[in-house]
Amino acid sequence: MKDLVSLCTRKGFIFQSSGIYGGINGCWDFGPLGVELKRNLKDDWWYTFVQMRDDIVGLDASIITHPEVWVASGHVAEFHDIVVDCKECKHRFRADHLEGPKCPDCGGELTEPKQFNSMLRTRLGVSEDTAVETYLRPETCQSIFVDFKEVYSSSRMQVPFGIAQIGKSFRNEVNPRNFIFRSREFEQMEIEFFCKAEDETKWFEAWKIAIWQWYLDIGLTESKMRWLAHPKEALAHYSSRTEDVEYEFPFGWGELQGLANRGCFDLTQHSKHSGKDLSYFDATTNERYMPSVIEPSAGADRTTLAVLCDAYDEEEVDGEKRIVLRLDPKLSPIKAAILPLVKKDGLAELAQGLELKLRRKFNTFYDQSGAIGRRYRRMDEIGTPFCICVDYESKENGTVTVRDRDSMEQVRMPMDELAAYIGKRCSHERD
Ligand code: ATP
């Protein structure tokens, strides 16, 4: 983990937020490479679950909502962590994360457990007396329920169908930790899939398969993944069944995604609290009912971390350590580096011209400084799948070498075939 965190900072994947002010606990900034990686991941999720399916549509709702949303959803009353404080060092811990009866930091005595609501409050409005107190959403899904009727009537979707959303969520986590695994501001990728009550189990099972496949598609190692079913007594207030996909991080197993059967809890609650009927009318059968919901809820940051952990590799090549991020090419921040063998004799100009052409298709990087071996290594470290070397032969016959990051093998090919060759290997298009 230490090596990965150091690589992430050194290379511009992830920085501590507000670093020059000493940082702020639980918040992270994605640097130039991190933003590309996370964006590729979210795009692939959207491609898989929205673009490629005709039974799911998207939504991008506001982060701040009417405060009543969180009363109806049960978050005001129920979204509590049970916490204990250390009487000596005053540190606070989640009771369910403790391994013994003493403070894990100083061994001091702990207080009795108490409830702590982890929603972040904010005030909306310009004048002190009329401003309303509300919350930064702790999950993206509530707006999906609130907008359910507008979405299905405007898009003419019919149950069974789903609504997907990617966006920021906020939780005042008691102990943000393990790098970006547990943060206070993070991104979720959620789908609320609406179906008939009698089809809940069928859809739950179908979603288990779809979710698992996506993790394989983005390159996670299958033996580092597992399903974990929540015991009945540990279920959240809205769920009748929850199973998590967990990943084996260097610090242990951790949840990547929760799959929950929320029944008709949320639509019923919002109907009650808003006074607007959110039931669904099936015109083909003349039935009116409250649909059930199967919810796959994933974290974009946790998935990014899993992808980085899975991809990180060190090996020895010619007596030297090689760090390589074996990212799936469709997730790599930079798809191809264009490197002139030397700067002189017109090779730099030729390589720059090539790079200008290729950058229209995908993210490229031009680098002419240092020995070619060093430049290859720099690209390996950030997961660039292809390095294109422009050499003397390129001037003569328009061919270049293409080096593969993982095998380090090189093939020679005409420059005008590069866009198709690399584009195909870096695309998230599935056959
Ligand atoms: P945990 O038990 O780890 O606190 P949770 O069960 O509360 O997680 P959910 O409410 O099911 O999490 O949220 C769905 C997904 O959102 C999680 O699987 C995770 O990927 C992501 N997520 C939740 N909380 C955080 C957080 N504090 N930081 C980063 N990602 C998070």
In tens, the pLDDT along 147-175 reads 999 999 999 999 999 999 999 999 999 88
Residue nearest to atom 6 of ligand 1 (CA): 258
d(CA 101, CA 98): 8
Q: Whose CA is nearest to atom 18 of ligand 1?
A: 257
Using the predicted structure, report yes or no on whether residue 80 has a pLDDT greater than 90: no
In sequence order, what are the residues at sequence separation of 6 or more whose Cβ sits closer than 8 angstroms to the Cβ of residue 377?
Answer: 322, 323
pLDDT in tens, 348-401: 999 999 999 999 999 999 999 999 999 999 999 999 999 999 999 999 999 999
pLDDT tens digit sequence for 49-76: 999 999 999 999 999 999 999 999 999 9
10 Cβ partners below 8 Å, 6+ apart? none
Rounded to the nearest whole angstrom, what is the distance from the C-alpha of residue 246 to the centroid of ligand 1? 11
> How large a percentage of the chain has pLDDT more than 70?
100
Residue 298 burial (CB count, 10 A): 24
Phi, psi for residue 215 in degrees, rounded to 5: -65, -35
User: Alpha-carbon dihedral of residues 318, 2, 254, 88, nearest 10 degrees?
Assistant: 160
DSSP state of 238: T
Proportion of the chain in helix, strand, coil states, percent, rounded to 5: 35, 30, 35
What's the 287 CA to ligand 1 centre distance in angstroms? 36
Compute φ and ψ for 66, nearest 5 degrees: -60, 135
Closest approach atom of ligand 1 to CA 188: 16
- Ligand 1 centroid distance, CA of 48 (Å): 21
| Closest residue CA from atom 11 of ligand 1 | 258
Ligand 1 atom 20, closest CA: 299
pLDDT tens for 213-249 read 999 999 999 999 999 999 988 888 888 899 999 999 9
pLDDT of 431 higher than 80 = no
If one residue of 186, 211, 228 were mutated to test the ligand 1 pocket, choosing by the most ligand atoms within 8 A of its CB, it would be 186
- Would the pLDDT of 140 be above 90? yes
Helix axes 2-11, 300-311, angle to 10 degrees: 110
Name, in order, each residue with C-beta under 8 angstroms of 217's C-beta and a sequence gap of 6 or more. 44, 48, 430
Q: How far apart are CA 340 and CA 322, in angstroms?
A: 22
Q: Cα(252) to centroid of ligand 1, in Å?
A: 16
Task: Report the distance separating Cα 300 and Cα 15, nearest Å.
Answer: 16
CA of 423 to the centre of ligand 1 (A): 34
pLDDT higher than threshold 80 for residue 430? no
With cut-offs at 50, 70 and 90, classify the pLDDT of residue 29.
Answer: very high
CB 264 within 8 A of CB 292: yes
* pLDDT bracket for residue 131 (50, 70, 90): confident
pLDDT value at residue 389: 97
User: What's 19's DSSP letter?
Assistant: G
Given a contact cutoff of 8 angstroms between Cβ atoms, the answer to whether 333 and 37 are in contact is: yes
Integer Cα distance of 131 and 77 in angstroms:
22
Ligand 1 center to 374 CA (angstroms): 40
- Residue closest by Cα to atom 26 of ligand 1: 182
By alpha-carbon position, which residue is closest to atom 14 of ligand 1?
A: 297
Q: What is the DSSP letter of 417?
A: G
Place of tokens 């918040």: 27
What is the rounded distance in angstroms from the CA atom of residue 320 to the CA atom of residue 216? 31
As a whole-number percent, the residues of the chain with pLDDT over 90 amount to 85
- Domains in the chain, start-ordered, CATH in brackets? 2-65+119-308 (3.30.930.10), 80-117 (no CATH), 334-426 (3.40.50.800)
Distance 103 CA to ligand 1 centre (A): 24
Residues enclosing ligand 1, CB less than 6 A?
A: 139, 171, 173, 182-183, 186, 188, 255-258, 297-299, 301-302
Tally the residues of the chain. 431
Distance 53 CA to ligand 1 centre (A): 25
Residue in the block written with tokens 């290594």 = 377
Candidate of 45, 228, 239, 302 to mutate for ligand 1, largest count of ligand atoms within 8 Å of Cβ? 302
Confidence of residue 281 (pLDDT cuts 50, 70, 90): very high
Using CB atoms within 10 Å of the CB of residue 300, give its burial: 0 to 12 exposed, 13 to 18 middle, 19+ buried: buried
* Sequence letter at residue 150: E
CA distance 138 to 301: 15
Parallel, antiparallel, or unpaired for β 386-390 and 399-404?
antiparallel
